[in-house]
Amino acid sequence: MAPNWNDMKTFLAVARVETLSGAGALLRADPATVGRRIARLESSLGYVLFTKSPQGYVLTAEGQQLLPHAAKLELTMREADEALRGKAHELTGQIRLGAPDGSANFLLPQVCANIAANNPGLEIQIVALPRIFNLSKREADMALSVSRPDARRLVVQKVTDYNLHLAAADSYLAQRPKIETLEDLRDHRIIGYIPEMIFDKELDYLSGSAFERAALASNSVSVQLQFIRQGGGVGVVHDFALPAVEGVSKLLTEAFSLTRSFYLIRHEDDQGVARLTRFAELLTRGLREEVARLEAQTVASA
């Protein structure tokens, strides 16, 4: 008996998240149903596709061989559905976007809200996590990254550069010793990342500097900015995030300035999906415009 498409979808979901409950959440099915579908697929093929381990469901050698063929079938079914609906170039359905929390908090909401306003049938999900997303496991349809990945089977597009500077709350600066040089920062509390939780080298802003150790730290850009806003000290801030908070100004802009880049990452198998390509085009254009608009609003402290 040939395997049916529902069973193959279930196989892909379990392969990507490695648990029956996680796959069930993706498929909107209970774990018992997921388990039955996997058992039915294994029976129809005559092979064991997963082994159970303490970490979850792990693909066997036969499962690994089946995976790329199942992924191609998924892409074919998706394209066929869009063609039959006559919506290959329309933005409808669900698109999940993974992003680090800086862009997820201060850029993507306004950009994605604008895209959604012009595409009523579109459902956009933003997954904001301080880590690198695994598109091979379909954690998201596409993801923003602050560095160019070197993994295979990924399509990477540079979106835009963005700038970062030192910043502090005006209330903090009014009560503390004046900051005129980088050396003056030795007398101030520094705000930054928890060192062992920096998930990308491009975020290691303070390494090797005289103020390398942060007195107030978080793995979240948003929390760091709130530390600064509350007068906790001096930290490195995205210029595009500054307009979102009042009473925070850039410092020492000539002495300390960083430029980083955003990259949009997609799985190679999705290049032929017109709907995702159209969304990627709108997202890229919107991000470039929004970064430029917000950075133009930032103010440096006198």
Average pLDDT over residues 39-60: 90
The lowest-confidence range among 34-43, 64-73, 101-110, 123-132 is 123-132
Element holding 14 (H helix, E strand): helix 5-17
Average pLDDT over residues 41-61: 90
**In 118-213, which ranges are continuous DSSP H helix?**
170-175
Element holding 282 (H helix, E strand): helix 274-295
pLDDT tens-digit series, residues 286-299: 999 999 999 998 86
pLDDT tens-digit series, residues 215-226: 899 999 999 999
Q: Can you tell me the distance from the alpha carbon of 76 to that of 260, in angstroms, rounded to the nearest whole number?
A: 37
What per-residue confidence (pLDDT) applies to 90? 63
Confidence of residue 83 (pLDDT cuts 50, 70, 90): low
Average pLDDT over residues 57-76: 86
Architecture label for domain 93-160+261-295: 3-Layer(aba) Sandwich (3.40)
* 5 alpha-carbon distance from chain centroid: 29
pLDDT tens-digit series, residues 164-200: 999 999 999 999 989 999 988 888 999 999 888 877 7
Q: Mean pLDDT highest for which of 12-21, 129-138, 203-212?
A: 12-21
Instruction: Say if pTM beats, i.e. exceeds, 0.85.
Output: no
Q: Does domain 5-85 have CATH number 1.20.1730.10?
A: no
Strands 142-145 and 154-169: unpaired
pLDDT tens-digit series, residues 117-137: 999 889 999 988 766 666 666
Pick the CATH number of 162-258 from 3.20.20.60, 3.40.190.10, 3.40.50.620, 2.60.40.420: 3.40.190.10
Mean pLDDT taken over the chain: 86
Residues of the chain with CATH 3.40.190.10: 93-160+261-295, 162-258
User: 165 is written with which tokens?
Assistant: 């500077």
